[in-house]
Structure 1
Amino acid sequence: MENDTQTSTDFILLGLFPASRFGVFLFVLIFLIFLMALFGNLSMILLIFLDTRLHTPMYFLLSQLSLIDLNYISTIVPKMASNFLFGNKSLSFIGCGVQSFFFLIFFFLMLGGAEGLLLISMAYDRYVAICFPLHYAVHMSKKVCVLMITGSWIMGSINSCAHTVYALHIPYCRSRTINHFFCDVPAMLTLACMDTWVYEYTVFVSTTLFLVLPFIGIACSYGRVLLAICRMHSTEGRKKAYSTCSTHLTVVILYYVPFAYTYLRPRSLRSPIEDKVLAVFYTILTPMLNPIIYSLRNKEVMGALRRMIQIICFLKM
């Protein structure tokens, strides 16, 4: 175990993998998931960029989601893998702040900011496509998507900066050993030698707002979509619409449920092991699952992938 009485300002990350064969197996598994997430999200971005048939507001939003997922998982896994392989679990005070900032910005972009707006926009996109197909280009333009995403980045940056600055300015007079595999602010607060209940209450309120407001928007949008689907006369059209909506709702569940369970519980009900397990789900597994959900259940994306493979095979001939 790491020395708890170190005087260095560096933080010590205990990590996720135990020093055993199971730890090695878990590391290999996580690293394979990381590679799958990189390949899947990069493939989605390239497909949407290169295939002109996917140059629609809907797929522009999907490319942004893949970009966020790609950056999100890259903030956590490379450092965690380096710590495990080289045995150096220390992270400088500034390095911890940088990692915390980028984790928070992509975290809130996915769960409360851009992710919420992306899902609302996707629901609105489906609503317009189903109810107003002739006015689709007018109601759902790329300009609207860019404005929403830009606003999300600005909002997420301000929020992340505020949390990171607070975490770096509180006094740490106890052990610098963080029982986590990255610099998560709640885990850092357990090392503070001051009462942080005001900040924890602020986190609870802001988290609730970031969770509830997007969720209300998503629920209202999909409620209108489902009503429109029920009125459709085409069985094939209903199946396609239900398939699209179920995919988006799966993303909502994958993101919002672990997020709400982790950050809306009081500290007395939380445990480091449980927090790390949940963190694996929403920092590593979900970015890997997103491209699978959107590609395997989307005929247009699969068609673009087949065309891309055909072009590559033709060029090799």
Structure 2
Amino acid sequence: MLELLLLLLVGAGISAIDSGDDSAAPAENYDTVTGTEEADEIHTGPGTQAIFGAAGDDNISAGNGDDYVEGGTGDDTIYLGEGNDTGLGGEGDDTIFGREGLDTISGGDGDDIIGGGGNNDLLYGGNGDDAISGGAGYDQISGDDGNDNIYGGNGNDTILGGNGDDRLAGGFLDDTLFGGEGDDDLYGGAGDDVLVGDAGNDDLYGGAGDDALFFEGSGTGTGGAGDDLFAIDLEGLTSPIVITDYTPADDSLTLGYAAATATADPVVTTTDFTDGTGANILVDGVIVAQVTGAQGITAAEVTLVSY
């Protein structure tokens, strides 16, 4: 899939993010506040603080400044202040909210709730079924392991679902969504979005805008309004891709195959549905896509590329 993406989107500024968290330990010049093994209430003022909740279900509110906050074990609630903050939930079902600033937030183990706030944030769900909202700004979000629900919000966001059956929604601008492993639902929303299904049985909805929908494995694609690209990686295909709203005058269909494993160039043919509402796309006699709205399409109108 990566090779097909690079081939079709070269120069488009598409980037991916890694799973896990990239947060660093606090610098030595931080003022340190450490909680107890009980449920603590910790509220700090302005300045650069390193706050460690330790065990217990802690409620932590950081002041303005570039703060470092670790909730520790327990179901913690963390409010970051204004500044470029780092918030780590640790073990437990944590709730972490950023504000203004370039925040890095990781939920850790547990079913976490994470809100990015009003700038360009790095957000990581960690293990568990997490709910993440990027807020304003150009955010990079990774759900990591678990069945995650992620919303990008305002900004050109990059979202990686990770392992699990995830629901990803881009928001209002030009977003890039990677489903990862599992059976995922991807919603681009407004803007010119890139949706990558990856392995699994994925449902992709482009929404308004000129979207690119990439399929591997199986699934359903709805482009929505705009000039949309539907791209299918034949190498990972497990069953035909169902495309629900193809418009020949606006949309395009591309099939990609690995030249290194092909003994000959694939042969593309088409047959209309018996009810006249669409067409089957076949490669070497096998149906690879069922496309509503593509009745009358010819093999010459399907782009075949090798990578």
In the superposition, the TM-score normalised over structure 2's length comes to 0.19
Bigger Rg, which one: 2
Structure showing greater relative contact order (alpha-carbon pairs closer than 8 Å, 6 or more residues apart)? 1
Q: More helix by proportion, 1 or 2?
A: 1
In the superposition, the TM-score normalised over structure 1's length comes to 0.18
